[in-house]
Amino acid sequence: MSDKEATIQLDLKLNLPHSVAREAEASGLLKSESLESLLREELRRRHVDQLFEAADRLAAVPLPPLTEAELDAEIQAVRARRRVSHAGGR
């Protein structure tokens, strides 16, 4: 966790099989730092899954591919917008 990131305190109540709870506690998995790491990894995994699902949906859209000229025009338009936004932020 970043030192600058704000934190909140949550009180969780878990119902786990006794053997799982004992092993998790013995392994240090029930400590805040371990739970945070597990949650962050699961969130990252879900974000990646969502990106792949979105890519699959996009690939299923029946649109003709861009021509090289259209692609070049799109790239130039993005670069122009970036130049304007960067120049305005100075």
37: number of Cβ within 10 Å: 13
Average pLDDT of the chain is: 92
E strand or H helix at 32, and its extent? helix 32-60
Render pLDDT for 49-60 as a digit per residue (tens, 0 to 9): 999 999 999 999
Render pLDDT for 58-89 as a digit per residue (tens, 0 to 9): 999 999 989 999 999 999 999 999 999 888 76
Q: What is the mean pLDDT of residues 29-38?
A: 96
The Cα-based distances of 2 to 7, 9, 36, 37, 80 in angstroms read 10, 16, 12, 12, 34
Question: Whole-angstrom Cα distance, residue 86 to residue 52?
Answer: 30
The reply to whether 23 falls in a domain is yes
* Structural domain containing residue 28: 18-64
pLDDT at 55: 95
The reply to whether 85 falls in a domain is no
The reply to whether 7 falls in a domain is no
Q: Is residue 90 scored above 60 in pLDDT?
A: no
The reply to whether 79 falls in a domain is no
Number of domains in the chain: 1
